[in-house]
Amino acid sequence: MPGPSVPFQNGKNFTSARTAVLSCAPNGPKGGKNAVVGSYVAGVLLGGLIVGPVVVASTEDSIRTSGAMSAVDRCLADLGYARRELTEHEVRVLNATSGEQRRLLLDHFVAGGSVETFEGVGV
């Protein structure tokens, strides 16, 4: 599973990215359900009537989560965003900030910047 991330698009900020995520979020549950159903069908075709579904059932939560994330990512891609994984260092710095400083840092990450290129005070 991917770690912490932000939607990335040049020229965008945290507020626009948050709005995009909220508009795409309803796609998650349906995408997760579709991934599970597709996995069961493929499991039966590839693993047989008993073994295939058993294998899928053992990883159903992971399949559902991955399918939901993929559906939201596809919606965000349609809006021009890409998933930008945050580094461990970026997560530590983000967790150490609050208020306006945190929002400015999130704006910077959404626009594609890094901690090293952030000119915020105290970071």
27-73 pLDDT, tens digit per residue, is 999 999 999 999 989 888 887 878 888 888 898 999 999 999 999 99
Q: What angle do CA 92, 93, 96 make, to 5 degrees?
A: 90
Please tell me the pTM assigned to this model: 0.80
105 has a pLDDT exceeding 90: yes
- Residue 119 DSSP symbol: -
Taking alpha carbons only, the member of 10, 12, 25, 19 closest to residue 75 is 25
Which residues have a Cβ under 8 Å from the Cβ of 12 and sit 6 or more positions away?
81, 110, 111
